[in-house]
Amino acid sequence: MAGFTLEAWTALAPSLETKEDWTKWLSENTDIAEHQLKVNLKHVPMMLRRRFNTLGKCAMGAIHQLGLEDPNIPCVFASQHGDTKLTLSLLEGIGKHEDMSPTGFSLAVHNAVSGLFSIIHHNNREITAIAAMQGLIASALFEAIGQLQVSEKVLCIVYDMPLPSLYQPFSQSSEFPYALALVLSRDNENSLSLTYQKEGEAGQHLHSNPKSELQGFLAFLLDQSDGYQCRLNGSTWALQKTVNHAG
């Protein structure tokens, strides 16, 4: 079992900016349109602000909503596909024998958003960018827990967006752009635990049949379920609130 404390979290997507918005979305499961995305990045210098596409705006917006007093802490940035839309446009340009934009190329790499974040906030701590085809949230949590073995706090950002239509038949992706930002810490009163579940063990109070990994995790964060099942590389882990028997 791995224990940790979730100090704060925020989530951001088009038309979904507050925990009340997400609670309503979980109950109604309404369609989300990308053009409804509104992110305030006025705290970002103009020259850097122009470098953020939809995916980066979601990530930076979610982080900003946390209101961190000191953003100079270790970070984990986790995205299944990254900005595949930008990558595809670069590949299409190559196919047309066009010169590749150096800026476009630098923003297409998987750690582009984390790099810009470190520049904006002068973050010189450990920053890890990971990709996971399965269990994106679980992978991010495992990486963050690993960082907590040597650090008091870790900022964990899980963000993704739909694949371009060309790629959708070959891989699953999120239905809309979103970002989750979480601050994890280690202390003597861990509030959450991540525990391996043996084959056949099923949590009785977990969110039943969530439509997506994001939906199940948000239901847990918003206290609509007692736990969340993380499936990763054929194994199942249960994320649950730690019961304090003191007193």
The reported pLDDT for the residue numbered 207 is 47
Q: How many domains does the chain have?
A: 1
In-domain check, residue 63? yes
Tell me if 96 is assigned to some domain. Answer: yes
Structural domain boundaries, residue 46: 2-190
Counting other chains too, the contacts that 132-136 makes at CB distance below 8 Å and 24 or more residues apart are 132/78, 132/80, 132/232, 133/80, 133/171, 134/231, 134/232, 134/233, 135/213, 135/230, 135/231, 135/232, 135/233, 136/78, 136/79, 136/80, 136/160, 136/213
Q: Is residue 132 part of a domain?
A: yes
**Mean pLDDT of all residues in the chain?**
87
pLDDT band for 245, please (50, 70, 90 cuts).
very low
Least confident of 74-88, 132-146, 205-219: 205-219
225 part of a folded domain: no
CATH of the domain at 131: 3.40.47.10
Residue 164 inside a domain? The answer is yes
Quick check: is 242 in a domain? no
The pLDDT confidence band at residue 237, using thresholds 50, 70 and 90, is confident
Residue 77 resides in a domain: yes
241 domain residue, yes or no: no
Percent of the chain predicted with pLDDT > 70: 91
Q: What is the pLDDT of residues 123-149, one digit of tens each?
A: 999 999 999 878 899 899 999 999 999
What does the pLDDT look like over 148-174, one tens digit per residue? 999 999 999 999 999 999 998 888 888
Q: Is the pLDDT confidence value at 76 over 90?
A: yes
